[in-house]
Amino acid sequence: MKIRVLFICTGNNCRSQMAEALLRNREPVRFEALSAGSHPAGFIHPLAIAAMEHLMVPVYDQYSKSWDEYAGAAIDVIITLCDDAARENCPIWPVSSLKAHWPLPDPAALPESEEICFQAALTAANNLQAKIERLIRMDFFQTDPAELQYQLHRIGQLT
């Protein structure tokens, strides 16, 4: 049985797309990586695509979608990546879902040069990659849910 992980950002066009691609690329057998947003932009931001290309991680078959697409679905882990999405009223997911907030600045929102924005996207991708490495080392089947929740919270505090 795969562990379903849903990464959420407001626009679902940069950070959550990178997280989905990173987890899907790193551990496709044990995990099903998903992403969504409360107000999907309708496209994957070029910065996310460029950062993933730099890391040689494909962003295939991904698209910007609403979290309503997963409302009521069985999701094991829900991770918000932006403060706005974390504050919003999410759709109803089963009570058993683990939830965590891994705040990351939005590289697509920077009013900077293209190079600075790309570096910010790459920094966010590297940060996500480190967090995902810890996520995949978690023992979801033998660990108490309260301990899993604590571990997910701790991962979110990593910078």
CA distance 28 to 66: 22
Q: In what order do the strands lie in the sheet with 3-8?
A: 31-36, 3-8, 77-80, 98-101
What is the pLDDT at residue 112? 78
Residue 103: give the domain boundaries: 3-157
pLDDT digits (tens, 9 = 90+) for 81-106: 987 655 556 555 566 689 999 999 88
> Do 31 and 3 touch, CB atoms closer than 8 A?
yes
Q: Say whether pLDDT at 14 is over 80.
A: yes
Confidence of residue 135 (pLDDT cuts 50, 70, 90): very high
Q: With cut-offs at 50, 70 and 90, classify the pLDDT of residue 121.
A: very high
CATH label of the domain that carries residue 77: 3.40.50.2300
Catalytic sites, residue numbers: 9, 82, 90
Q: Residue 148 pLDDT more than 80? A: yes
Number of domains composing the chain: 1
Q: 52-64: per-residue pLDDT in tens?
A: 999 999 998 899 9
